[in-house]
Chain A
């Protein structure tokens, strides 16, 4: 049993790590279709990663050992967070009481080194991106606790797997609660993964970027590692969102996987649609946007607590 569980965990992790570029390809393809273009193949992110791997690495002349180790730590921290997420009913590789805290703080570790590596270049462009990333993270952190954390406090479970599988659909106020939570998680995903309307990954102007400007001076294998970990990070948040729908599977493995696939395709469509119809916010308004997500989280929680 134990061995089977570990195997399931490993397979889940490999799936997450392997499929994350595909998700980005899926989003980009749909975005192209919505805007009336043919678009690149959905396997394009894989080709790009392969291309990056074969490029020469260029480091800025003021960079130090931070630039060398930051991409590695970034990738491993994000991968460790990915190892805590369930796919269908398989128990994740890392699953213990309180792993929700480790999950949040592993992403914090990734952010810490990403910001340091950006500041390592000594250019104002990276400085701007780093300052924005650090500022928005301060507001994004509470959202995570007000959504997934609040389910943990209500259900009494502290492991991400148990938290999601404790969701029951028999209580109508709880269902409403979960739906609003999933909206907050969507906003969180958009912020943390630097997608529209918080950050525009396709812009060509350094002054308006967050994530892209932080990795402006990276190339070759370093850029490969950063890009790959940002793909994984997006996929992590998508899984956080998709996991809300597992209760529909009623303890069936295959049904769980079908739900997983369907929800992910729907989410990629949603993300592509949002990115097609909205434009990027003014930088000044982003904290308001995040506080809005926090506010609906709090309101939702209060309503649930008092109608229970």
Chain B
């Protein structure tokens, strides 16, 4: 495992490279090369460790020193694998992304340093075994993400958006401190490997769960704590928003799974709570995504949706844990774990794609795009693969994980009988509803951005080799997991059976015949190719030509007459209008020959406007009421601190 630490050092050495080269261009090239090399060696080490079951659970030697600060168990290594796998193409994209800024004469060094620190600290988070080390790495991760986010700090919306992220991170860390102190108090240890509590602990068990779920759930972006996602993602540099959505929010999922490992078996109502909150998150996220016009904001809402889908799997797993049922746990947690990987892959693909579009067009508003397929055909193909995957449609990876989650519903209904079939059916309908909305949303953005005619003149649409490489790796992963899921399922199954679920050998994810799915998908693809060839020969025989589109005899069709994103989603948005979140204003035309009209629509976030912002406002007005204690002289504050410490010490002294 020393190799892994060498790879981390190699990644950190990129910071030295940045300091060494004065010229931005050289520094960026050297730093990215070192980062990529470090990530690739790290990834190979992690993957071999997972495949050979080379897990180290307690004491290990790091550079010859025995320490229990780190632990390489199956769950940690799985997340480490995801981080490194996704970070490689993101780093490749980062090189080409920063080149645009270097050409504009902006210094990118600080951004690169934050990126390197973010990468290494995130990898450290999942292997740390000591609670304090975990918290330090977690804090470094959150802070470096914040610092990277404010790359264009002169813009006002960047400042506010990033501020929401910062507030969220601090709230999370505060809750985590309490969480780990309680755990330490109960188990007399700081080590993750020693943390374990059973429901006999009574009230504390529930309090700990509440703390863990709220803290990690906030990081993951479950409703109603998703407020930071649609604010922070659009303003962050694309590299950071891709990493944020692909990896950082997954750290919340990692935390929730660790919480489960510390505290199990779970009570059943908790499973239902997680399941219903996740279901609401999924529906809520995709519903709001449908009303968005800003591509990055839209993708941010889709993160809420997908985190919801992962949460559904976890919720089912919790229910299985309450009944000590192995198949339910394996399918529920298995679906969640695989969807974590899948979402990391396709969401990063989509974010990188949106970054490429933004670089070329200078706008994130999809209403101003259109017809891009005529400029970058292969780019559209790659983006489309990501879109199909995220909608959960076969034959790509999104389908595989949703398939496992559906199977977990079926198995729960079968195992637990009674009123469970009904409840599980409702969950399945919810997931199908989410799938339908996701299809509506992704057909919307693909067709408005890429198809038809360009609504605004496209001056240039260049995609560099590195951008294609990065997108290509992501797309290849989507296709590979979809068409040949077996090896990925083997890994997920290994994670579940080795240490995560107690006594899980009786049921395995491999009970599902994954080869059959591969055969179906491959033969369907062969069928498509055959029909394509047949169609070609027919067209050769009877001819094919290009002509203008049908306009009821009207020849003057122009790009502005095309369907827009608002009109496409209008019928669905009309429904949410009743929930007071979608506003539309149309100027009624009175003349027979109307000249000028106006239309505007905007959507508001219900949870934001009705719950969170009023709560913040109340809190700040409460705080302003105790302002009488605010002084300009620092000595007063030191005095306050001394007084507080004295009171605490007195209490502690008297307690004994």
Q: What does the 1/0 interface line of A110-153 toward B look like (CB < 8 Å)?
A: 01100110011111111110111011011111101110011011
Q: A66-B451, A98-B403, A146-B425 are in contact. Are A60 and B562 (CB under 8 A)?
A: no
Among A132, A139, A158, chain B packs the most CB atoms within 10 A around the CB of A158
Chain B nearest Cβ from A140, distance in angstroms: 8
Question: Within the complex, what minimum Cβ distance (angstroms) separates A288 from chain B?
Answer: 11
Of the candidate stretches B55-63, B237-245, B530-538, B630-638, the one touching chain A is B530-538
A16 at interface, CB cutoff 8 A: no
Given known A64-B377, A121-B549, contact A135–B571 (CB-CB < 8 A) = yes
Known: A98-B403, A153-B428. A135 touches B440 (CB 8 A): yes
B374 is an interface residue with CB less than 8 A from chain A: yes
Q: Which residues of A contact B439 (CB under 8 A)?
A: 108, 111-112, 115, 134, 137
> Residue A57 contacts which of B424, B447, B453, B542 (CB distance < 8 angstroms)?
B542
- Chain A residues with Cβ below 8 Å from B230 are none
Whether B428 lies near A96 (C-beta < 8 A) is no
Taking a contact as CB atoms under 8 Å apart, the answer to whether B561 and A102 are in contact is: no
Flag the segment in B126-134, B217-225, B407-415 that touches A: B407-415
A122 close to B440 (CB less than 8 A): no
Q: By the criterion CB–CB under 8 Å, are B443 and A130 in contact?
A: yes
Contact A77 B542 (CB under 8 A): no
Q: Contact check, A75 vs B531: say whether CB atoms are below 8 A apart.
A: yes
CB closest residue in chain B, given A123: B549
Pairwise interchain contact B528-A61, C-beta atoms closer than 8 A: no
| Residue A105 lies at the interface, judged by CB distance under 8 Å to chain B | yes
Q: Is the CB of A150 within 8 A of B443?
A: no
Chain A: minimal CB distance from B513 (Å) = 6
Contact check: which of B425, B528, B539, B551 meets A149 at CB < 8 Å?
A: B425
The verdict on B308 contacting chain A, using a C-beta distance below 8 Å, is no
Least Cβ–Cβ distance between A23 and chain B, in angstroms: 22
Complex contacts, A134 vs chain B, CB 8 Å: 439-440, 443-444, 568, 572
Q: Is the CB of B204 closer than 8 A to any CB of chain A?
A: no
Which residues from chain B contact A130 at a C-beta distance below 8 Å?
A: 443, 447, 563, 568
B644 within 8 A of A: no
CA of A71 to CA of B392, assembled, Å: 20
Q: Is the pair B432, A220 in contact by a Cβ cutoff of 8 Å?
A: no
Instruction: Determine the chain A residues whose CB is within 8 A of the CB of B548 once the complex forms.
Output: 60-61
Q: Report whether B377 and A65 are in contact in the complex, using a CB–CB cutoff of 8 Å.
A: yes
Name the contact of B549 in the complex, choosing from A57, A122, A132, A144 (C-beta under 8 A). A122
Q: Are A56 and B544 in contact (CB under 8 A)?
A: yes
For residue A190, which residues in chain B have a CB less than 8 angstroms away from its CB? none
Q: Which of B429-477 contact A (CB under 8 A)?
A: 429, 432-433, 435-437, 439-440, 442-444, 446-448, 450-453
Q: Is B567 at the interface (CB under 8 A from chain A)?
A: yes
In the assembled complex, B373 has its CB within 8 A of some CB on chain A: yes
Interface centre among B433, B439, B446, B552 (most CB of A within 10 A): B439
Cross-chain contact B440 with A57 (CB below 8 angstroms): no
Could you tell me if B542 and A55 are in contact, using CB atoms closer than 8 angstroms?
Answer: yes
Asked if A48 is an interface residue, CB under 8 A from chain B, the answer is no
Report the number of A-B residue pairs with Cβ-Cβ less than 8 Å: 236
Asked if A112 contacts B451 (CB within 8 A), the reply is no
**Chain A neighbourhood of B436, CB < 8 A:** 108, 137-142
Determine the chain B residues whose CB is within 8 A of the CB of A127 once the complex forms: 562-563, 567-568
Q: Is the CB–CB distance between A116 and B443 below 8 Å?
A: yes
- Which residues from A are CB-within-8-Å of B513? 96-97
Are A120 and B392 also in contact (CB < 8 A) when A54-B542, A73-B528 are?
Answer: no
Given contacts A61-B546, A127-B563, A142 and B399 within 8 Å (CB-CB): no
A-contacting residues, B10-63, CB 8 Å: none
Q: Does A217 contact B (CB under 8 A)?
A: yes
| A208 to B644 Cα, complex, angstroms | 74
Chain A nearest CB: distance from B313 CB in Å? 15
Q: Find out whether the CB atom of A116 lies under 8 angstroms from the CB atom of B440.
A: no
Task: Flag whether B207 is at the interface (Cβ < 8 A).
Answer: no
Asked if B199 is at the interface of the complex by the 8 Å CB criterion, the answer is no
Question: A72 on the interface (CB 8 Å rule)?
Answer: yes
The residue on B at minimum CB distance from A139 is: B436
A124 touches B561 (CB 8 A): yes
Q: How far is the CA of A256 from the CA of B63 in the complex (A)?
A: 72
Q: Is the CB of B373 within 8 A of A217?
A: no
Assess whether A66 is in contact with B388, with CB atoms less than 8 Å apart: no
- Output the least CB separation between A138 and chain B (Å): 4
Whether B532 pairs with A158 at a CB distance below 8 angstroms is no
Q: Indicate which residue in B392, B447, B516, B520 contacts A116 across the interface (CB closer than 8 Å).
A: B447
A105 to B569, CA, bound (A): 21
Question: Is B502 part of the contact surface with A, judged by Cβ < 8 Å?
Answer: no
Residues on the B chain within 8 Å of A139, using CB = 436
Q: Which of A67-96 contact B (CB under 8 A)?
A: 69, 71-73, 75-77, 79-80, 94, 96
A65-B373, A141-B436 as given contacts; A72 in contact with B532, CB under 8 Å: yes
Query: Which residues of chain B come closer than 8 Å to A120, judged between CB atoms?
Result: 447, 451-452
Smallest beta-carbon distance B540→chain A, Å: 10
Q: Can you name 13 extra interface pairs (CB under 8 A) apart from A65-B373, A98-B407, A120-B452?
A: A61-B546, A62-B371, A64-B451, A66-B451, A101-B406, A112-B443, A125-B552, A131-B571, A137-B440, A225-B531, A302-B422, A305-B421, A305-B422
Can you list 19 contacts pairing A with B, beta carbon distance less than 8 Å?
A: A57-B543, A59-B546, A65-B373, A72-B531, A101-B406, A102-B520, A112-B393, A122-B371, A123-B549, A134-B568, A134-B572, A145-B425, A146-B429, A153-B409, A153-B422, A153-B424, A153-B425, A221-B538, A305-B422
